[in-house]
Amino acid sequence: MDSPAPPPRRSVLFVCTGNTCRSPLAEALCRRMLADRLGCEPDELPARGFAVASAGVMAYPGDAASPPAVDVAAEHRADLTAHRSRPVNPELLAAATDVIAMTRGHLLALRAAFPAVGPEPVLLCDADDLPDPIGGDAAEYRACARLIAGNLDRFIKGWLGS
């Protein structure tokens, strides 16, 4: 009996400004949602053909995710406790099959700083910028997470062919 073909390799990079709120939250929620759909744990995603990461166009390396982002991720059974920020770079972009930006400003920054490197970045929210919850309360972070999850759903369906 022939073994099934390995799943397609997909490497997703989420990009925001400082890589401490929106893009790490998108990364963590994406990992959790993909794992749930595939019936595995998030740390098993690479074996299933998925790599999910995040970076920032103005990130300072090594910053932790904002505490409210960590808390809201945990409410979704996603873990941001080990997250450390990193700036976007040509290597990350070149390794990605999908680059997903949080705002039009991030799209423009990526195109200006890294022309023709990696795939064409797309906006997470169909036609709108994802509001930045930085400095906001838990309700703002929860609203941000709801928007992220709702928009991730359509990407994940496309990636999984469902």
Domain residue limits, the chain: 10-160
Residue 129 appears among annotated catalytic residues? no
What Å distances lie between residue 67 and 2, 50, 101, 108, CA to CA?
Answer: 48, 27, 22, 28
So what's the pLDDT on residue 79?
95
Given a cut of 90, is residue 5 above it in pLDDT? no
If one compares 93 and 2, the residue with the highest pLDDT of the two is 93
What confidence category does residue 126 fall into, taking pLDDT thresholds of 50, 70 and 90? confident
| CATH architecture entry for 10-160 | 3-Layer(aba) Sandwich (3.40)
Given 16, 21, 30, 144, the catalytic residue? 16
Task: Tell me what the pLDDT averaged over the chain comes to.
Answer: 93
Q: What is the pLDDT of residue 132?
A: 94
Among residues 63, 71, 129, 132, the one annotated as catalytic is 132
The pTM score is 0.93
Sheet (strand 50-56) strand order: 50-56, 10-16, 98-101, 122-123
Catalytic residue among 21, 22, 31, 32: 22
Active site residue 16: yes
Q: How confident is the model at residue 147 (pLDDT cuts 50, 70, 90)?
A: very high
Distance separating alpha carbons of residues 37 and 20, to the nearest angstrom? 26
